[in-house]
Chains A and B, each alone.
Chain A
């Protein structure tokens, strides 16, 4: 039974990805380009050489953080849709420390990362308090907080930390920027993201407090009956998931973007939700899915220059993957489907 479930959680996304690529290919053909060429350039652009591979890892890094944020929250039964806002608040906190504090270099980086995690955690914690003490719908609250955070970031880069006449913040000083990872275009933020993912996996699946978090997520009532302080777990999962996103925001600022600017983090929160769902909320699978999505994005730029197919085709493919995966996972859970499947298996045996 367990093995079959595992199989389903791998097979469904793979079929969904193939199906999405088929539809993508049809769209590309309809636009008058050769789907095979487009796919080849997509691959080349994402993984074709060391430089492009580095770019893919670099693009994947923030997505891994928001994916892990969503994985952790949903495993604990909290539908945190505010990854984007928490990511942004983390980046703002890091931006202040990097540009305003006298610290530079490694101590500054550590402080920025800590402040980013703290900022993101508090931002999510605010939504958690409303959920726990006012019984409020966390989805709407966290989404509204995304808009507030985005606008607040606007205040920061158009007013408070503005760089002269350009609507962006001053750049993070060179000594505080993250080092490159193995000489690639990605920074050390990438291995940090992977390590955070492994730690979350270890915590959730191999420690007893991780098990308690998952128990609350699986059945809140049962957890309550068994004497769990459910409120505390819910609040904690808001804070931890927010801290993951906030850390991601801080590292994205120090490693890749270096400035807060219009469009910083745009869409990362919902993307993280989608990737977490495709990965069946498994942190390690989430890392792979995030790298896959990043590859689609990076590769689509090369595809656009080489074949003229717009990059938004890759957005459609990504969106279709989630549309198909979620529907597919529901389909195999239908009683009718299961019966048919078992009957067939029985006949063959």
Chain B
């Protein structure tokens, strides 16, 4: 039982990390007033790019960087359509959710042909094996047996919290998501910040996807993001648009994910699909419980038109 709980906690941290990247991606987007439900699709393209580059170069780190770049590129379509053309954000996010996974699937087919031989890439090594530590103590595993991406995710939460609450630039950024017109009269470049938000969002969503193929699973499969992009949306709402809240939400959803994997391993009477439902059911439950105290950025979802001064 002790090892069950220990493994559960370790897995929770690992499973929370991709969610943290995706939730922060959404947070940066919504803080600038852009609801991007396309991060599920962006994560898919990040996941594929991360896998391919890591396979070709043998470096998972380069894979993550390439995943970020691919995420930015795809999200620029969203940026142009929603910021410049003022397309409806939700609708365009759906378009990205259809386009990006199709692109990922296409590139995979073209690269590997129709043969479905399972190709595997190396995973990022953990700090523990990099340092050559042999101990198997729980705390050693918790703090050292993690890939650099896990540390990066947690550091990013702290940096984001500091940026949004302690810096002038962060406050300006948030103003764009709250009162874009007022922000513009103060000389803040609303359009510029919204594009910047899309760059950050695309990069983080791409990294979140690449995490899945460079730190978690050795190969890319269509649909491997498995709704994490949408769960991240829920995490942002659950976390009340604050980095700390988002972190707690991600740890909770990561825990649900870890729990379902662990329960599948110990139980063999119930069909395993019931366990796989846990993260999705938990998301619905959490949303139902917290109700609709709308606390998000006020201009979220609304286009900003310069002409309307």
Contact = CB atoms under 8 A, between A and B. Distances in A.
Interface of A: 31, 79, 81, 130, 134-137, 139-141, 143-145, 147-148, 151-152, 154-155, 158-159, 270-271, 273-274, 277, 310, 312-313, 315-316, 318-320, 322-323, 326-327, 329-331, 333-336
B287 A137 contact: yes
B97 interface: yes
B261 interface: no
A151 B86 CA distance: 37
Contacts of B91: 277, 326
Taking residues whose C-beta sits less than 8 angstroms from the other chain, chain B's interface range is 35 or more
B139 interface: no
Given A134-B291, A136-B288, A143-B227, A152 B102 contact: no
Contacts of B86: 330, 333-334
B284 A151 contact: no
B93 to A, nearest CB: 9
A199 B283 CA distance: 36
B95 A139 contact: no
22 contacts: A79-B90, A136-B291, A137-B233, A140-B237, A144-B234, A147-B280, A151-B276, A155-B271, A270-B97, A270-B98, A271-B98, A274-B95, A277-B94, A312-B109, A315-B106, A316-B102, A320-B99, A323-B95, A323-B99, A327-B85, A330-B86, A334-B305
A330 B230 contact: no
A310 B284 contact: no
B87 interface: yes
Given A313-B106, A326-B81, A140 B230 contact: yes
Interface in B1-54: 37
Interface in B238-275: 271, 273-274
B109 A322 contact: no
B209 to A, nearest CB: 17
Interface string B59-95: 0000000000000000001001100011110111011
A213 B40 CA distance: 31
Contacts of B277: 147-148, 151-152
Contacts of B98: 270-271, 274, 318-319, 322
Contacts of B291: 134-136
A235 to B, nearest CB: 15
Given A147-B227, A155-B273, A333-B86, A141 B103 contact: no
Contacts of B106: 310, 312-313, 315-316
A223 B109 CA distance: 50
A19 to B, nearest CB: 14
A140 B85 contact: no
Contacts of A330: 81, 85-88, 92
Contacts of B288: 130, 134, 136
Given A140-B233, A152-B273, A318 B85 contact: no
Contacts of A333: 86
> Shortest 5 CB-CB distances between A and B: which pairs?
A135-B292, A330-B87, A319-B99, A312-B106, A151-B273
A334 to B, nearest CB: 6
A110 B92 CA distance: 38
Nearest to A126: B284
Contact of B287 (A79, A130, A147, A320): A130
In this complex, the member of B92, B97, B98 whose beta carbon has the largest number of chain A beta carbons within 10 angstroms is B98
A134 B109 CA distance: 43
A273 B96 CA distance: 12
Interface in B263-309: 271, 273-274, 276-277, 280-281, 283-284, 287-288, 291-292, 294, 305, 307
B284 A145 contact: yes
B280 to A, nearest CB: 4
B144 interface: no
Contact of A137 (B80, B81, B237, B273): B237
B186 interface: no
Nearest to A337: B85
Interface in B165-213: none
B287 A136 contact: yes
B114 interface: yes
A326 B95 contact: yes
Nearest to A141: B284
A81 B281 CA distance: 16
Contacts of B234: 137, 140, 144
B99 A322 contact: yes
A155 B81 contact: no
B110 interface: yes
B161 interface: no
Given A270-B97, A319-B103, A336 B280 contact: no
Given A159-B271, A330-B81, 17 more contacts: A31-B110, A130-B287, A130-B288, A140-B230, A140-B237, A140-B287, A144-B227, A144-B281, A147-B226, A147-B227, A151-B276, A152-B277, A154-B276, A310-B114, A312-B105, A315-B106, A333-B86
Contact of B307 (A144, A310, A329, A336): A336
Contacts of B103: 316, 319
Contacts of A331: 85
Contacts of B274: 151, 155
Interface in B84-138: 85-88, 90-92, 94-99, 102-103, 105-106, 109-110, 114
A49 B190 CA distance: 55
Contact of B110 (A81, A270, A310, A322): A310
Nearest to B113: A310
A310 B109 contact: yes
Contacts of A155: 271, 273-274
Given A130-B288, A155-B274, A330-B81, A322 B95 contact: yes
B283 A140 contact: yes
Contacts of A31: 110
B309 to A, nearest CB: 12
A309 B47 CA distance: 24
Contact of A327 (B92, B94, B105, B276): B92
